[in-house]
Amino acid sequence: DDLGHQEGGRSLASLESLLPHVTKRAREVFACLATASLESESSSSSSSSSSAGSGGGVEERTLLDRCRAMMGLTDIQALRGLLREFRDHGVVREGSKRGTLVIDCSREVLKEFVEKRNGTGRENEKQTKHAPS
């Protein structure tokens, strides 16, 4: 079952179960962090790391800059507040370097989450293939 708890962190089902319980802005910040995490992993190492949470994470300032551009968020305290629920549930934690954020799930789960949110994931392909004509 690919939606169950996986070694290396949270499962996709675990991430998705939390999303309805946070605000839209918190979901947007989390999605931004997820995308930034995947991008930083891709650029920082060409070796295949199995866990998104194993790297150094995304700097809070970098995330704030992205959120400023996407949704007008300008304050680091507001950013931290929007991520509080994810921290409280152990989904987001501080990285190995102070001021960095890490999502506690495998790279594969994170990638699937981002693809599903963007409408480009395998789940959507399955729905398209099996849609009645």
Between strands 58-59 and 100-103, the pairing is antiparallel
pLDDT in tens, 43-102: 765 444 444 544 568 999 999 999 999 999 999 999 999 999 999 999 999 998 999 999
Record the pTM.
Answer: 0.76
Q: Which residue has the higher pLDDT, 2 or 123?
A: 123
Q: State yes or no: pLDDT of 1 exceeds 50.
A: no
Q: State yes or no: pLDDT of 3 exceeds 50.
A: no
Give ∠ CA 131-116-38 in degrees, rounded to 5: 150
Q: What rounded mean pLDDT belongs to the chain? A: 80
Q: What are phi and psi for residue 123, nearest 5 degrees? A: -60, -40
Q: State yes or no: pLDDT of 122 exceeds 50.
A: yes
Neighbours of 18 (CB within 10 A): 17
Give ∠ CA 97-6-88 in degrees, rounded to 5: 50
The arithmetic mean of pLDDT across residues 94-116, rounded, is 92
- Residue 45: the pLDDT is 56
Closest CA to 80 of 93, 96, 95: 93
- Residue 127: the pLDDT is 46
